């Protein structure tokens, strides 16, 4: 029998980011109806976008310690400054504030502390001031590639917090190796979103038969590529190169291009950038206006393949056995975002291509589309099986009161 004790879920799903919203839903389904409290750093209601209603973790004051599960994501390298900025509304005033603070480190640190009400450098790991309210403390699907580039105090805090947890699973070998060097033995499991098709397949297929996704499927009767890029891909040269690559593949194969947003929080995607890309394309193209979690999943599940900068776009495409290709940011090819993508691909996928620069996208996308469908489905099923088996073996006993 499932436990009836509530579990606190903690993650970065208090802002609109496709992967984080999905990770919250996966965690809730893994708990088999067990009562949960979805907590973040801020109070938010993301239900209109398919996410949860979120309470501030600091507002939870249980009479006895609650089990806490970090639901996953790139939490190890998310600084207080980044967390606070991404929780702001995505408007011109926010971007002006971010630009002003980005050049003033002391002001930035003070602003982040005030915005979050916390002293932590890595606030999406259980804040130190709240640690006594939760036990056991567990972490599933953590990403941390690029953590070595973070400030020393932040790295030390991350390691200290992880040492205090009862179970930690990371999603890539680079993070696992980094933690091992610090004396922390973490489990290696695929990202929990690998379970998307297994846990939500019927819901997503129903979603694809209605609304915008159904309209796009009808418009692109020969199939479509699902394409997404972050705002940092928005310079003219990058958009010109990407449009040429997409045209070469789409026109040759008779495909449309369905553009979508994988996140609208600051530093994520920008509809204006996607419209500029669409204006450059000769292949038929359309933008999915919806940012609902299940519409994005449905678009990916029914696509001829995914091409973009979202790691969870790739992971969901993998779960449904679709071809996929990640694009590396044009200005930060060696930065943390690229490290995250490469680390995951190197850990779990052995069928090239994985992550490429925009200039190489045409050839790499053709190679991705040439992979046999049975191979792709088998890869997705194997990753889902690995996550589920690892969760049942290593996490469920703790959540249900064992050890």
How far apart are the C-alpha atoms of 259 and 276, rounded to whole Å? 11
Nearest to 341 by CA among 143, 192, 195: 143
Give CA separation, 204 vs 199, 292, 296, 323, 324, in Å: 10, 12, 9, 18, 19
How far apart are the C-alpha atoms of 239 and 279, rounded to whole Å? 10
Query: Could you tell me which residues come within 8 angstroms of residue 188 by beta carbon, excluding any fewer than 6 positions away?
Result: 169, 170, 171, 172, 173, 176, 347
> Could you tell me the pLDDT band of residue 336, with boundaries at 50, 70 and 90?
low
The pLDDT tens digits for 28-82 are: 999 998 999 999 999 999 999 999 999 999 999 899 999 999 999 999 999 999 9
The pLDDT tens digits for 181-200 are: 999 999 999 999 999 999 99
User: Distance of alpha carbon 13 from its chain centroid, rounded?
Assistant: 10
Query: Is residue 334 pLDDT above 60, yes or no?
Result: no
Strands 44-45 and 36-40: unpaired
- Would you state the pLDDT for residue 333? 46
Contact yes or no for 384/197 (Cβ under 8 A)? yes
How would you label 52-75 residue by residue, b for 16+ Cβ within 10 Å and e otherwise? Answer: bebbebbebeeeeebbbbbbbbbb
The pLDDT tens digits for 215-266 are: 999 999 999 999 999 999 999 999 999 999 999 999 999 999 999 999 999 8
How far apart are the C-alpha atoms of 154 and 145, rounded to whole Å? 14
pTM (predicted TM-score)? 0.95
- Would you state the pLDDT for residue 335? 57
Residue indicated by tokens 């699973």: 169
How far apart are the C-alpha atoms of 17 and 309, rounded to whole Å? 13
> Could you tell me the pLDDT band of residue 3, with boundaries at 50, 70 and 90?
low
Query: Could you tell me which residues come within 8 angstroms of residue 402 by beta carbon, excluding any fewer than 6 positions away?
Result: none
Strands 305-308 and 187-188: unpaired
DSSP string, 7-60: EEEE-S-SS-BHHHHHHHHHHHHHTTT--EEEEESS-EE-GGGT--EEEEGGG-
Residues of the chain with pLDDT > 70, as a percent, come to: 97
Residues of the chain with pLDDT > 90, as a percent, come to: 86
The pLDDT tens digits for 129-185 are: 999 999 999 999 999 998 999 999 999 999 999 999 999 999 999 999 999 999 999
267 φ, ψ (degrees, to nearest 5): 75, 15
User: What's the rounded mean pLDDT across residues 307-320?
Assistant: 98
- Would you state the pLDDT for residue 401? 77
- Would you state the pLDDT for residue 332? 56
How far apart are the C-alpha atoms of 311 and 172, rounded to whole Å? 12
Domains and CATH numbers, the chain: 7-194+384-399 (3.40.50), 198-383 (3.40.50.2000)
């Amino acid at each position: 029998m499932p436990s009836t004790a509530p579990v606190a879920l903690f993650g970065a799903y208090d802002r609109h980011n496709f992967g984080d919203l999905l990770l919250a839903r996966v965690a809730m389904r893994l708990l088999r109806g067990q009562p949960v409290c979805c907590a973040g750093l801020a109070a938010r209601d993301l239900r209109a976008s398919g996410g949860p209603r979120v309470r501030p973790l600091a507002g939870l004051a249980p009479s006895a310690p609650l089990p806490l599960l970090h639901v996953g994501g790139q939490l190890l390298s998310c600084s207080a400054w980044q967390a606070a900025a991404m929780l702001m509304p995505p408007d011109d005033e926010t971007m002006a504030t971010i630009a002003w603070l980005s050049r003033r480190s002391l002001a930035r640190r003070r602003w982040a502390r005030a915005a979050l009400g916390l002293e932590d450098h890595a606030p999406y790991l259980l804040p130190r001031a709240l640690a006594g309210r939760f036990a056991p403390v567990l972490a599933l699907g953590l990403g941390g590639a690029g953590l070595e580039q973070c400030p020393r105090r932040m790295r030390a805090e991350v390691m200290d917090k992880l040492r205090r947890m009862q179970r930690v699973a990371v999603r890539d070998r680079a993070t696992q190796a980094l933690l091992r060097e610090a004396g922390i033995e973490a489990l290696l499991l695929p990202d929990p979103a690998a379970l998307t098709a297994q846990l939500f397949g019927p819901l997503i297929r129903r979603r694809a038969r209605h609304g915008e996704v159904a309209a796009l499927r009808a418009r692109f009767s020969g199939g479509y590529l699902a394409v997404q890029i972050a705002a940092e891909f928005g310079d003219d040269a990058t958009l010109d190169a990407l449009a040429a690559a997409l045209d070469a593949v789409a026109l040759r194969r008779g495909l449309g291009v369905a553009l979508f947003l994988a996140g609208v929080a600051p530093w994520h995607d920008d509809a204006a950038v996607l419209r500029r890309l669409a204006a450059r394309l000769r292949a038929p193209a359309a933008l999915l206006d919806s940012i609902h979690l299940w519409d994005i999943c449905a678009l990916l599940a029914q696509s001829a393949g995914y091409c973009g900068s979202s790691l969870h776009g790739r992971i969901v495409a993998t779960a449904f056995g679709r071809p996929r290709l990640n694009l590396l940011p044009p200005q930060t090819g060696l930065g943390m975002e690229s490290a995250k993508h490469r680390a995951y691909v190197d850990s779990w996928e052995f069928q090239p291509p994985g992550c490429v620069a925009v200039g190489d996208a045409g050839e790499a996308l053709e190679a991705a589309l040439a992979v046999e469908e049975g191979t792709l489905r088998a890869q997705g099923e194997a990753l889902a099986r690995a996550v589920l088996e690892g969760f049942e073996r290593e996490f469920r006993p703790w959540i249900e009161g064992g050890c």
